[in-house]
A and B are shown apart, each in its own frame.
Chain A
Amino acid sequence: MLSEFFSLTVLTGIAYSGIRLATPYLFAALGEMFAQRSGVVNLGVEGIMLVGAFTGFAVATWTSNLWLALFCAAVVGIIMGLAMSYISVNMQAEQGISGIGMHLFGLGLSSLLFKKWLGSTKAITGFQPIKIPILGDIPIIGEIFFNHNILVYIAFLLVPIAAWVLNKTTFGLKIRAVGVKPEAADSLGVSVARIRYSCVTFGGMMAGIAGAALPLALINLFQENMTSGIGFIAVALVYFGGWSPTGVMLGALLFSLVNALQLWIQVLDKDKVIPSDFALMLPYIMTIAVLAFGKRTNQPAALTKPFERGSH
């Protein structure tokens, strides 16, 4: 088994699958990172993803236009993000509980609309892999990195863009200020509400896209409750990644790579020396280990704390 395991096919297979699997986590977690950096935890990511997944799949089924499907999922994500902003910024509701409400809302809405409008599911043809010219022809590297569908490329390209916005722009500075000390930002004329609205709404849009990525780029089908916890893991990845885009990406990659690894272990371990249950535990053991030893350097001081002018 061991010699087979270190074969080129297996190692490239693990790396390729890891990158592909990381895509929905990355979309959702990058969006959530912006929300959290502005001081709002949106636990409703899973619910928004579900509505995004349904919207994407339904529009793709009706129109066969994948970009329109993705756009509609993003719009639905924006609407749900606006709702979450209103709840957490204007109404100043307890973010954890309202997030759970948003999750239930998304779960129910996506199931209801699926039953009413589609009833049954039939596979669509999703985004196909695009081989990047020249780079895609490099042995091994080309196969691992440059032969994915467009959403995988977009997700990873968003990482440096997010880092630039957060660390190099005035808007990013405002986000960080609002997340750490909203009253100070407010006294300098930064609208805390506007910044939080923008970030949570952007997070909603990204969650909608993350959800749509499942039927449009990874699975080609829809099923009720198909996210199966990805949204919650994305929220955890933001903590895991220390609220930085690179950290979030590394967390998503680690989790996905270990998941790909455990599947290969099962395929290669013909005599079942390693029980499948043990292989399945690997991603979670790794996650706990990294969380336990990781540092919480960037945690926004005002995370989950509603801001009201004059109350401090």
Chain B
Amino acid sequence: MSKINRRKFLTIAGTLSAGAALTACAAPAPTAAPAAPAGGAAKPAAKQFKVAMVCPSAVTDAAFSQSMFDAIKAVQKDMGGESGLLLKYSDNVFQVPNAAAAIRDYAGQGFDLVIAHGTQYGNSLQEIAKDFPNVAFAWGTATDNFESKGLKNVFAYNPKAEEGGYVLGVLAAKITKSNVVGVCGPVEAGDAKTFVDGFKKGVTDTNKAAKVNVTYTGNFSDVSLMAAAAETHTKAGADVLTGSSQSVVGAIGIAKDKKIVWFGTQSDQAGLAPDTVGASQVYDWSGIVKEMINMINSGKKGAVSFETTLKNGGLKIAYNDKVNIPADAKAAAAAAAKDIADGKLKALP
């Protein structure tokens, strides 16, 4: 029997380790993501600046994780490539204990900035940051930088997602013919909720006759349930759809199939379905990444909370020229964006 036991052990160990190795393999070796260099470059440091990122979904998710990945790659390009900024990342780490282990590992490896890109990582990060006072951490979406808890090495960042939500709501209200608009929400919390609330207000402020139907799937990753939600909205008469989180690829696939317009958020989703995605609110974190690098290089490692808005350029509306959006809709959206930026219009109810 001992022979069988050894064989069994080797088989199990082999299968598990092959799986683990492949899972690990899938994470590193990022490909270069093209991005236009933005103004206000981070000050070139004498030494290579090391950034680590831990995120809950794939860096190719066309949503939350990709938004930060693209931003860091843009800053990296701006700083002269890998010699100026080294990026290591662990993606698809939805489970908090696994993320906490990765964050701790990166902190211990001497990274200058460890970005915990997920609201759910907050509690763990608070504990880890205490143990590494010389490492700067950042987490979002969040407003609490833990300064009140005595921590000086944590940055927080938060998008005012409702702003772009409102602007996209104006567009949706202008182009809907059935006067029914569907919203595919993931979890009723965080920037997903503020985006949905802003979007609803944008629609109803612009078109009193329009109905906004909202569903939540209860998680950020269930692609097929998100597709079912989108299909339900179309059956209920919606001819324009939007939604948030990485699981919206399911809904975008349905929108393409039904030949209706989709409005995206977090990343520019036009590439997923060029004939379907009308516009996206893009989280452009590159500005705050540069700011954090500059602060860290000048000795400040945290205790700052950043907010991205339409006004400061951290949020952008990216149109997709391949989908025809009438000029009057774009003009109304631009006016709403200006009013929000000027503080004349509240995006949230």
Say if the beta carbon of B227 comes within 8 Å of chain A: yes
Say if the beta carbon of A87 comes within 8 Å of chain B: yes
Tell me which of A92, A105, A226, A228 contacts B8 (CB under 8 A): A92
Tell me which of A104, A218, A225 contacts B221 (CB under 8 A): A225
Say if the beta carbon of B322 comes within 8 Å of chain A: no
Report the separation of the CA atoms of residues A268 and B254 in the bound assembly, to the nearest whole angstrom.
Answer: 20
A100–B16 contact, CB under 8 A? yes
A47–B224 contact, CB under 8 A? no
Say if the beta carbon of B282 comes within 8 Å of chain A: no
B19–A228 contact, CB under 8 A? no
Q: Is the interface of B mostly helix, strand, loop or mixed?
A: helix
Give 20 CB contacts A-B under 8 Å: A13-B232, A17-B228, A47-B19, A108-B20, A115-B31, A120-B62, A121-B60, A218-B253, A219-B250, A221-B273, A223-B61, A223-B223, A224-B26, A228-B221, A263-B232, A266-B214, A267-B182, A267-B233, A267-B236, A270-B213
Say if the beta carbon of B249 comes within 8 Å of chain A: yes
Closest chain B residue, CB of each to CB of A226: B223
- Give the residues from 125 to 153 in chain B that come closer than 8 angstroms, CB to CB, to chain A: none
Tell me which of B19, B236, B252 contacts A221 (CB under 8 A): B252
Closest chain A residue, CB of each to CB of B60: A120
Interface residues on B, range: 35 or more
Additional A-B contact list (10), CB under 8 Å, known A16-B235, A224-B58, A230-B224: A17-B228, A20-B228, A93-B8, A98-B11, A101-B12, A115-B31, A214-B224, A219-B253, A228-B225, A276-B185
Q: How many A-B residue pairs have CB under 8 A?
A: 194
B22–A104 contact, CB under 8 A? yes
Given contacts A91-B7, A264-B232, contact A111 B224 (CB under 8 A): no
CB of A89, distance to nearest CB on chain B (Å): 11
CB of A118, distance to nearest CB on chain B (Å): 9
Report the separation of the CA atoms of residues A100 and B58 in the bound assembly, to the nearest whole angstrom.
Answer: 21
Contact with A along B1-35 (1 / 0, CB 8 A): 00010011001100110111111111001010000
Q: Which residues of A contact B188 (CB under 8 A)?
A: 276-277
Say if the beta carbon of B257 comes within 8 Å of chain A: yes
Tell me which of A21, A24, A103, A219 contacts B19 (CB under 8 A): A103
Say if the beta carbon of B218 comes within 8 Å of chain A: yes
Closest chain A residue, CB of each to CB of B276: A123
CB of A119, distance to nearest CB on chain B (Å): 6
Q: Is the interface of A mostly helix, strand, loop or mixed?
A: helix
Tell me which of A109, A214, A267 contacts B22 (CB under 8 A): A109
Tell me which of A20, A87, A125, A280 contacts B218 (CB under 8 A): A280
Q: Which residues of A contact B57 (CB under 8 A)?
A: 224-225
A92–B18 contact, CB under 8 A? no
- Give the residues from 255 to 302 in chain A that come closer than 8 angstroms, CB to CB, to chain B: 259-260, 263-264, 266-268, 270, 276-277, 280
Interface residues on A, range: 35 or more
CB of A144, distance to nearest CB on chain B (Å): 12
A221–B215 contact, CB under 8 A? no
Report the separation of the CA atoms of residues A106 and B21 in the bound assembly, to the nearest whole angstrom.
Answer: 11
Say if the beta carbon of B217 comes within 8 Å of chain A: yes
Given contacts A102-B15, A221-B253, contact A123 B273 (CB under 8 A): yes
B15–A87 contact, CB under 8 A? yes
Q: Which residues of B contact A13 (CB under 8 A)?
A: 232, 235-236
Report the separation of the CA atoms of residues A114 and B26 in the bound assembly, to the nearest whole angstrom.
Answer: 9
Given contacts A13-B236, A94-B12, A221-B272, contact A259 B19 (CB under 8 A): no
